[in-house]
């Protein structure tokens, strides 16, 4: 069975946060607490010539107050990507494009569920 892949942001060309995504179910054994979940983050940036982007991957317990789980800096020519793992300790995640530069620059971030930590 393949791991589910969820887009956090697809082809964003401007700064700003995207709509939050609820990532995991609450666990009744821990009185409703959300257990940490391990994810792959797959990010890419495309454009023409020199391109760069700073992408904040954020998490929240209430979909209101956000903390940065990871900062991704992408820069290159025409296409650049980065793959890494992370742990989410909150039920909501979102991508926040804090900077994007270059002709036709567009950023994409995908979240792939790997395993729930125990």
- Nearest residue to 93 (alpha-carbon basis) of 62, 116, 114: 62
What tokens does 22 get? 């609820």
pLDDT of residue 36: 62
More confident residue, 100 or 4: 100
Q: How far apart are CA 42 and CA 31, in angstroms?
A: 32
Residue 115 has pLDDT above 70, yes or no: no
Q: What percent of the chain has pLDDT over 70?
A: 78
Which residues make Cβ contacts (< 8 Å) with residue 71, sequence separation at least 6? 54, 55, 56, 57
pLDDT in tens, 61-107: 889 999 998 899 999 999 999 988 877 777 888 899 999 999 999 99
Return the residue matching tokens 């956090």. Answer: 8
Residue 110 has pLDDT above 80, yes or no: yes
pLDDT of residue 30: 43
Q: How far apart are CA 43 and CA 39, in angstroms?
A: 13
Name all domains of the chain by residue range, CATH numbers in brackets: 5-116 (2.60.120.1110)
* Predicted confidence band of residue 24 (pLDDT cuts 50, 70, 90): low
């Amino acid at each position: 069975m393949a791991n589910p892949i969820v887009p956090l942001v697809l082809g964003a060309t401007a700064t700003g946060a995207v709509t939050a995504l609820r990532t995991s179910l609450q666990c009744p054994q821990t009185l409703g607490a959300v257990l940490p979940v391990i994810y792959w983050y797959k990010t890419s940036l495309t454009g023409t010539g020199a391109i760069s982007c700073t992408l904040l991957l954020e998490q929240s317990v209430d979909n209101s107050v956000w903390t940065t789980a990871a900062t991704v800096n992408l820069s290159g020519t025409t296409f650049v990507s980065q793959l890494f793992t992370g742990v989410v300790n909150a039920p909501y995640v979102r991508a926040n494009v804090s900077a994007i530069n270059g002709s036709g620059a567009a950023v994409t971030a995908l979240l792939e569920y790997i395993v729930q930590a125990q």
